[in-house]
Copies of this chain bind each other. A is one copy, B any other.
Amino acid sequence: MTYKQLQYIVTVAEEGNITSAAKKLFIAQPSLTSAIRELESEYGITIFSRSNKGIKTTPEGEEFLGYARQVLDQTTLIEERYKGKNSGKLKFFVSAQHYSFAVEAFVELLKRTGADKYEFHMRETQTFNIIDDVAHLRSEIGILYLNKFNEEVIRKTLRDNNLSFTPLFTARPHVFIGKNSPLSKKKSLTLEDLKPYPRLSYEQGSHNSFYFSEEILSTVDSDKELVVLDRATLFNLLIGLNGYTICSGVINEELNGPNIIAKKLKVDDYMEIGYILPGSIHPSPLTSEFISILESLTRRSKQHH
């Protein structure tokens, strides 16, 4: 089996036709025919059923193609990263939970690089995907939190995937509310205080995934629940509906605006926010720069709380 053979069968499956696939691959049709035959005979399977009117993928072939695409996805990562295909385009990928400080660091990194050709990805997603992205090198760094409930399970997952966790800071749980919410007068809040108000969370965000908010928002106080995908939407609803959301309390006024305030939440819990890196791979200069930005930004946050 070679990388080329896998590319070939995937292209053939897409085109549904060996002749046109050969054209697309810039090789002669008999070359493609024999390449496929060889792959099939190597594993003793029939990937395509041939007829005079093109080819059709067999069920067996469909399965094999599933594996092939997995491999190709992975090799594409190498090609993209090391091949001059992107002609010097600077690339950076980060997966994080919904933290404004992470976005801020991302923006700062962009400013500092000052490249005129780049491709940066900020993947705000759930814990599962963060770990998965970093483990499979789709992202160079991930940002997530640990607390006493998820710590064991997350640490084990990180270990299993050969990832390292480096803490940035520890935060106490905070509640985000609108400036004009009735709750804004209180200095700190309890779960009881929050009960009458709508709870906001991300559909696939840090709150909803794994552990944290579930810990605090037990079945008792989930009468009104709003789930959104977008942070801006969340903040709009927060203000418009006197809602609340539970977070690390790392707020940045420039990003969130002056209409959102954070209040301490009285619960016996903490969040240790940090970043994860692949164990085997040395961080790229861009990643190192990003980490130092994160560190300087969160040093500021530490003073706040």
Interface residues of A (CB under 8 A from B): 1-3, 43-45, 59-60, 62-71, 74-75, 77-79, 81-84, 126, 128-129, 131-132, 136-137, 149, 152-153, 156-157, 160, 203-204, 208-211, 214-216, 218-220, 227, 267-269, 278, 280-282, 284
How far, in angstroms, from A172 to B68 measured CA to CA in the complex?
41
A77–B82 contact, CB under 8 A? no
How far, in angstroms, from A128 to B64 measured CA to CA in the complex?
25
How far, in angstroms, from A64 to B131 measured CA to CA in the complex?
20
How far, in angstroms, from A59 to B21 measured CA to CA in the complex?
39
Contacts of A66 in B (CB 8 A): 137, 278, 280-281
B204–A152 contact, CB under 8 A? yes
How far, in angstroms, from A204 to B152 measured CA to CA in the complex?
8
A70–B77 contact, CB under 8 A? yes
Q: Which among A45, A128, A211 has the greatest number of chain B C-beta atoms within 10 A?
A: A128
Q: Which among A45, A63, A227 has the greatest number of chain B C-beta atoms within 10 A?
A: A63
Q: Which residue of B lies closest to A211 (CB)?
A: B214
B70–A153 contact, CB under 8 A? no
Contacts of A82 in B (CB 8 A): 43-45, 64
Q: Which 5 A-B pairs have the closest CB atoms?
A: A218-B218, A43-B82, A66-B281, A66-B280, A214-B214
A65–B280 contact, CB under 8 A? yes
B137–A209 contact, CB under 8 A? no
How far, in angstroms, from A46 to B203 measured CA to CA in the complex?
44
Contacts of A43 in B (CB 8 A): 78, 82-83
How far, in angstroms, from A152 to B219 measured CA to CA in the complex?
17
B69–A71 contact, CB under 8 A? no
Contacts of A78 in B (CB 8 A): 1, 43, 64, 67-68, 71
How far, in angstroms, from A269 to B214 measured CA to CA in the complex?
14
Q: Identify 27 residue pairs between A and B in the complex whose beta-carbon atoms are under 8 Å apart, listed by A's number.
A: A1-B78, A3-B3, A43-B78, A44-B84, A62-B281, A63-B280, A65-B280, A66-B278, A70-B137, A71-B71, A71-B74, A71-B78, A74-B74, A126-B153, A128-B131, A128-B157, A129-B157, A152-B203, A153-B208, A210-B211, A214-B214, A214-B215, A215-B219, A216-B219, A218-B218, A218-B219, A218-B220
Q: Which among A2, A69, A82 has the greatest number of chain B C-beta atoms within 10 A?
A: A82
How far, in angstroms, from A300 to B149 measured CA to CA in the complex?
34
From B44, B59, B152, contact of A208 by CB (8 A): B152
Instruction: Give the distance to chain B from A247, nearest Cβ to Cβ, in Å.
Output: 17
